[in-house]
């Protein structure tokens, strides 16, 4: 499908975009009451809860009726990725209560309670919504500290609120300009910030994604991404609801343990839309056996979206090669670019056109120029901007547009962009108030990402704050990490960090890289391979190379590398190395 066709769909749906998600769901419930909205696979295999649009609408109304007195206040949603989360979210949207989703609090998952407490305090939550099983444990194992902000709030077990007949949700119904939810950034580059999204943001983002995917009411999608993350929320919940189609959802932990069940669900449910971060495709290549691949039919999977983290072309090529026998086509890959400050997705490749990989001269990239070459750094296109959005490549110092094929900061403006951060005026002024110095065009969202446009499509090369500058040359951490992980088979893909520390007259390059399990026996050999590859590919020497045990690298809850946390750990001397020989 062409970019022009997706824009035509966006323009045709002006009337639906004037509505809110509750109005759209109620419309589906009235016109197609028995059509399936959601199918949940608790173990990734057997069908569990299924919700028709009529049942979804009924349960949302029941929850809205119970919490309607909190209209305009914030509700913290603490759920696993399942049916209860979806009905609670819709109950909030119906009632005009502002939904704030947090990771499920778990004794097994370190930091989830503290993150939920921080979010609760920051957003000034007035109530907590949770399944009964979670709510019953709050005073014992989950929130034992009675001074915790979570312990002082009223808790509602929403699965106990959905019996009986649905009541009308409170009048007047929410409007497009009313606050719908606050989603928190991943914190991969610093402290997590709340991004308030209005009802109009949710509808516009969902419409933009549906238009680019050209999905229909008989389209089925399969997803596993956590529903409290923007990718999982929009891909698996809001966009299917907007389009009136079925979404099949399995828990994230099932995918991580048995990735073949994700692909098996795509096969069994004849799904044409599914995807996830780049690491998901690498995980399948490493974990799905040849026997399991022979049971798959991925020929109907025509839109394999990729996003939420930097995308390495070799990962997509490995997946396409490993699953070619299942009928999977590389043309299905659909990379995109987005951030929480712009709802979720800003740009996306046209469906059916593949990853759009192009090769650029490394040394030219280091000087800020994008020069195509036969060999060098290979970059995946993030496509054209969605809907009515504008992407600008701006010199972050002069605040003027960069010439064509020149690297600059990616600026965005359009209907998906939030109005600012939740009660952080200083951060908001820096990030959401970008104006071009020469033309005074604006305001733009300043993303902090570096990239360039080629034939109108966006290519992202790194982040400004993480850029490594050695003897005047720009070196991009993503590029170094990709080189490192290809240098030796003992290294775990997607589990490395490159950053700089102050040196003598310039910055020094430091690399942290996890080893595969059982591969810590020859650290000097591995380090030598890393050092040779960095010198060959980037023309610099690594000051320090630290090999880490599996799982030691700091990451966000969505799997992004926390390079600044890695750097802080290194400077404190607190990095857990795999062996003493590696600590040089």
Return the DSSP state at 414. S
Q: Where in the chain is the domain with CATH 3.30.300.30?
A: 471-582
Alpha carbon distance 111, 104 (integer Å): 10
532, two tokens: 């040779």
Residue with tokens 């995807």: 275
Task: Tell me whether the omega of the peptide bond preceding residue 443 falls within 30 degrees of 0, making it cis.
Answer: yes
How many residues are recorded in the chain? Answer: 584
Q: Are 413 and 391 in contact (CB under 8 A)?
A: no
Q: What is the DSSP string of 183-207?
A: EE---TTSS--EEEEEHHHHHHHHH
pLDDT for the residue 312: 85
> What are the tens digits of pLDDT across the range 419-477?
999 988 888 888 999 999 989 998 999 999 999 999 999 999 988 888 888 867 788 88
Checking phi first, is residue 576 left (phi over 0); if not, alpha (psi -120 to 50) or beta?
beta
Interacting residues of 342 by C-beta distance below 8 A, sequence separation 6+ = 412, 414, 416, 417, 418, 445
Which residues of the chain are in CATH 3.40.50.12780 domains? 3-164+175-257
* C-alpha of 478 from chain center: 17
pLDDT, position 62? 92
Report how far residue 315's alpha carbon sits from residue 308's, in angstroms, rounded to the nearest whole number.
15
Under-50 pLDDT residues of the chain: 106-110, 188-189, 580-584
Strand-pair partners of 249: 40, 223
Q: Which of 532, 504, 526, 500 is nearest to 513 (CA)?
A: 526
pTM of the model: 0.85
- The yes/no answer on whether domain 356-465 falls in CATH 3.40.50.300 is no
How is residue 142 written in tokens?
A: 């989950």
CA angle 389, 393, 396 (to 5 degrees): 125
Domain 3-164+175-257 fold? Rossmann fold (3.40.50)
What pLDDT does residue 557 have? 65
CATH 3.30.300.30 correct for 471-582: yes
């Amino acid at each position: 499908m062409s970019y022009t066709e997706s824009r035509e769909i966006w323009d045709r749906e002006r009337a639906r975009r004037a509505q809110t998600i509750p109005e759209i769901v109620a419309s589906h419930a009235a016109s197609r009451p028995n059509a399936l909205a959601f199918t949940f696979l608790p173990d990734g295999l057997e069908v569990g809860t299924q919700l028709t649009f009529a049942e979804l609408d009924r349960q949302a109304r029941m929850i809205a009726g119970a919490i309607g007195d909190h209209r305009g206040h914030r509700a913290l949603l603490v759920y696993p990725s399942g049916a209860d989360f979806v009905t609670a979210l819709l109950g909030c949207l119906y009632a005009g209560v502002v939904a704030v989703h947090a990771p499920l609090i778990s004794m097994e998952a370190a930091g989830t309670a503290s993150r939920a407490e921080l979010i609760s305090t920051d957003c000034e939550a007035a109530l907590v919504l949770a399944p009964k099983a979670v709510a019953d444990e709050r005073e014992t194992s989950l929130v034992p500290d009675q001074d915790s902000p979570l312990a002082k709030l009223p808790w509602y077990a929403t699965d106990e609120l959905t019996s009986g007949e649905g009541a009308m949700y409170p009048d007047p119904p929410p409007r497009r300009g009313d606050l719908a939810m606050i989603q928190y950034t991943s914190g991969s580059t610093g402290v997590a910030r709340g991004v308030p999204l209005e009802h109009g943001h949710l509808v516009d983002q969902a419409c933009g994604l549906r238009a680019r995917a050209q999905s229909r009411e008989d389209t089925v999608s399969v997803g596993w991404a956590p529903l409290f993350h923007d990718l999982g929320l929009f891909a698996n919940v809001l966009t299917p609801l907007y389009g009136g189609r079925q979404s099949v959802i399995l828990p994230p932990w099932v995918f991580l343990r048995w990735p073949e069940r994700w692909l098996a669900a795509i096969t069994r449910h004849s799904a044409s839309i599914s995807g996830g971060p780049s690491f998901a495709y690498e995980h399948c290549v490493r974990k799905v056996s040849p026997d399991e691949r022979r049971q798959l039919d991925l020929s109907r999977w025509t839109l394999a979206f990729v996003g939420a983290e930097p995308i390495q072309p070799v990962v997509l090529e490995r997946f396409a090669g490993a699953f070619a026998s299942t009928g999977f086509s590389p043309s299905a890959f659909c990379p995109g670019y987005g951030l929480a400050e712009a709802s979720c997705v800003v740009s996306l490749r046209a469906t059916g056109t593949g990853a759009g990989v192009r090769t650029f001269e490394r040394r030219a990239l280091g000087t800020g120029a994008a020069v195509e070459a036969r060999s060098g750094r290979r970059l995946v296109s993030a496509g054209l901007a969605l809907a009515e959005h504008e992407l600008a490549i701006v010199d972050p110092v002069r605040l003027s547009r960069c010439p064509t094929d020149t690297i600059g900061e990616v600026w965005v403006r359009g209907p998906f962009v939030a109005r600012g951060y939740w009660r952080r005026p200083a951060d908001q002024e820096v990030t959401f108030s970008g104006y071009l110095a020469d033309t005074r065009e604006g305001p733009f969202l300043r993303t902090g990402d570096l990239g360039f446009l080629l034939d109108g499509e966006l290519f992202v090369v790194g982040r400004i704050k993480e850029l490594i500058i050695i003897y005047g040359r720009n070196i991009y951490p993503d590029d170094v990490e990709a080189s490192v992980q290809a240098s030796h088979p003992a290294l775990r893909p997607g589990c490395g960090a490159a950053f700089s520390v102050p040196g003598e007259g310039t910055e020094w390059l430091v690399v942290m890289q996890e080893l595969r399990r059982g591969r810590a026996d020859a650290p000097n050999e591995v380090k030598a391979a890393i050092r040779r590859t960095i010198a060959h590919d980037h023309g610099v020497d690594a000051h320090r190379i630290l090999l880490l045990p599996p799982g030691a690298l700091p990451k966000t809850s969505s799997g992004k590398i926390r390079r600044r946390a890695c750097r802080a750990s290194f400077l404190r001397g607190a990095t857990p190395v795999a062996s003493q020989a590696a600590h040089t």
